[in-house]
Amino acid sequence: MVLYQNNDALMCKIFATILQDEEQDWFHTLPPLSIHSFDDLSLVFSKEYSSYRSIKKKSNHLFNVKKNPKGSLCDYVKRFKVENVMIVECDNLIPSAAFQKGLPANLLLFRELIMKDDLTLANSFALAEKHLLWDEARRVDKVLE
């Protein structure tokens, strides 16, 4: 686009071609003749999408994710995974500790996790999946009885 920086109309057209999905839909909702220069387009676009920037979360945020007493283990694991993805530059020890801390102490999974040394988050999730399978098998057995 640097080659065409003196041609506002061409810059606007090129800009429109690089937009995708929601941004492309947004561009087509602009009223006709509402943009007079590339600077106008840049300003309107920045105002529209600057509020959609994702906020970088620090690893200590994971300690706020707790298992809902009435919620399932599966829901907790899913929520924790979603929150963990939003953390930037985090070593493995903090998410693993936060995952364990978010579980109620009376849960069998919690007791198993505290007995393990140097447990990675992946291993914690694998153990949780095993518990989910056990719970599902127990439910199926009860239904069959």
Cβ atoms within 10 Å, residue 35: 19
Into how many domains does the chain fold? 2
Between 93-101 and 121-144, two packed helices, what is the crossing angle to 10 degrees? Answer: 30
Q: In terms of residue numbers, what domain contains 11? A: 2-52
What is the Cα–Cα distance from 5 to 17, expressed in whole angstroms?
A: 16
* Per-residue pLDDT tens over the stretch 52-63: 555 667 888 899
Residue numbers in the chain where pLDDT is lower than 50: none
Rg (C-alpha) for the chain, rounded Å, is: 25
Q: For position 129, which CATH number holds?
A: 1.10.1200
Do 71 and 132 fall within a single domain?
Answer: yes
